[in-house]
Amino acid sequence: MSEVKEPVVDDKKVEEKPIDKRQSIWTKKEKESSKSNYGCEILIEDGSIGDVSIKNAPTDASIVKYMFEDKLHIDLTRGSNINIFDMYYDKFKQGGIQSIDYGCGTVKPNLWGYQNPGAKKKKRKG
C-alpha cells in the first residue's frame, strides 16, 4: 500500500489573496442625506439576492434592482415606493431602475432598531 502524503506548505511562500472589496456606489454624504431628502434609508448596498432577502429586516423595506455601469446591482432600502423611485431616478436617471419589489423582512417598522433599555432595579426599603 502506498502512503498518501500531505503537501508541505511553507508560510513564507504562500501569498495572501487580496479581499474583494466592492466600491461603494452611494457616497457617505448621499446615504446620510437620503433620510432627510427622500425619507429613505439604504440598509444593504450592492448585495446579492440572498443578502437582501433576509427575514431580520423591517416589513417596509424594498428590494431595488438597478443598472449602474452596465452591471445589475441590488439594494435593500426602506421608504415608500414613490420616494425610493425618486431617489434612485435622481441618482441613476432613466433606464437605471429595473424593479422595486417587496422585501422579505418580518420585523415591524416601529420595532426596527429598538434596543431594550434593560430592567430597572427596584429600590429596597430599609
Least confident of 10-14, 29-33, 34-38, 102-106: 10-14
Residue 33 lies in a domain: yes
Cβ pair 61, 105 in contact under 8 A: yes
pLDDT at 117 over 80: no
Residue 68 lies in a domain: yes
Residue 93 lies in a domain: yes
Q: Dihedral of the CA atoms 85, 91, 94, 98 (nearest 10)?
A: -60
Which residues, other chains included, contact 62 with Cβ-Cβ below 8 Å and sequence gap of 6+?
A: 76, 77, 78, 79, 81, 84, 100, 101, 102, 103
Residue 122 lies in a domain: no
Per-residue confidence (pLDDT) for residue 20, from 0 to 100: 47
Quote the domain boundaries for residue 38.
28-106
Residue 85 lies in a domain: yes
Residue 47 lies in a domain: yes
Which pLDDT tens digit goes with each residue over 45-65?
999 999 999 999 999 999 999
Quick one: which of 43, 84, 42, 78 has its CA closest to 60? 78
Instruction: Give the count of domains, the chain.
Output: 1
Residue 38 lies in a domain: yes
Q: Are strands 41-44 and 97-102 parallel, antiparallel or unpaired?
A: unpaired
Q: What is the pTM of this model?
A: 0.71
Per-residue confidence (pLDDT) for residue 18, from 0 to 100: 43
